[in-house]
Structure formats: structure tokens, C-alpha cells
Copies of this chain bind each other. A is one copy, B any other.
Amino acid sequence: MSNLSPTAKIILAFLRFRPRSGYDIKQSVEISTQFFWGASFGQIYPELRRLEQAGLLEVESEGRRGRKVYRLTTAGERELDDWLRGDSGLFQYRDEGLLRLFFSDLIDPETALENVRRMREWREQAVAFFRSQLEPHAQEDADLGARFPLRALEFGTAWLEAQAAWLAELEAELEP
């Protein structure tokens, strides 16, 4: 039964929409899921070979510059479907700013405030990046009938804004 690696999941899913090369997959990740599900070349290329070996992918065509375009096999589609219908829910969150906040009783109030300010600014910048860089692509998908990428993006902006708002309140509280 489907025991796909994290990178395999995103590879199969992106290929389901249309055939892609490893390079294409990396780009797709970067303009969409990077924030909550990344994938580097060091993961993608070996994984593509493994998935091909396992019969879940096949090479559709080999183009110039060594470009290899992969597509799903029937077995690959089945595996993807199993995962999409599954209930595995890996959730990881690591936040160094928050760790510093947690220990801010150990430092002077000004430094603590500075940290909170940086946390808020980082979130505001992320939201701005989402809107300017990611939203156009998500909107394009939506126009083509795939609405969930835009929803996922809205989820991301909504909670980062919620974090930013909370941090702004804390700033006000901490200000001298």
C-alpha cells in the first residue's frame, strides 16, 4: 500500500495535471507550494528515478539539453489517488522567532520588542510576496478550472495575517 515519500507525493500530483520535467516540477513548487511543501533538486531527481523504477512514472519524451519529461503511469495514478483519499496529516512547524519570544523573559524589554517587530514584519513581507508573486499564478489556475490552489493560498495569507495582527497587539502592549 501507498508509502510515498513526501517528495513523491508532490511529484505525482503535479504530473497528474500535465507531464513535466524535474526542472518544471521545481518551478511549479516554487510558485505555489514552496511555503508549506518544498522540494529541492537534490530530492526531485533521485525520486524521479526511483518512481520510474517502481513503475509509477514513465519518460514521455527526451528533449534538448537532456530534458526528460515524465508522465504518470496507471499505477502512478492509482498511488496518487490512494494518497489523495488517505488521511495522513504530517504537520510540522518550527519558528525561531517564537522560540526567542518564549524565552524573552531572559532579555531586556527593548530586545524582546525588537524580536516581536521582526516577527511581524517577516509575516507582512510574506503576505506581500504571496499576493504579488503567487496569487497571479493561482488565479490563472482558477481561471482554468482548478480552484483549490487559490484557496490554499488564501488559507496561507489568512493565517499569516492573523499572526501579524496578534503580534502587532503584543507590540502595543510591550511598547514603553
Name A residues whose Cβ lies closer than 8 Å to a Cβ of B: 6, 9-10, 13, 16-17, 32-33, 35-37, 80-81, 83-85, 87-107, 111-112, 115, 118-119, 122, 145-149, 151-152, 154-156, 158-159, 162-163, 166-167, 170
Contact = CB atoms under 8 A, between A and B. Distances in A.
Copies of this protein in the assembly total 2
B37 A95 contact: yes
Nearest to A88: B96
Nearest to A84: B107
Contacts of A147: 105
Contact of A112 (B9, B148, B158): B148
Contacts of A102: 32-33, 37, 148-149, 152
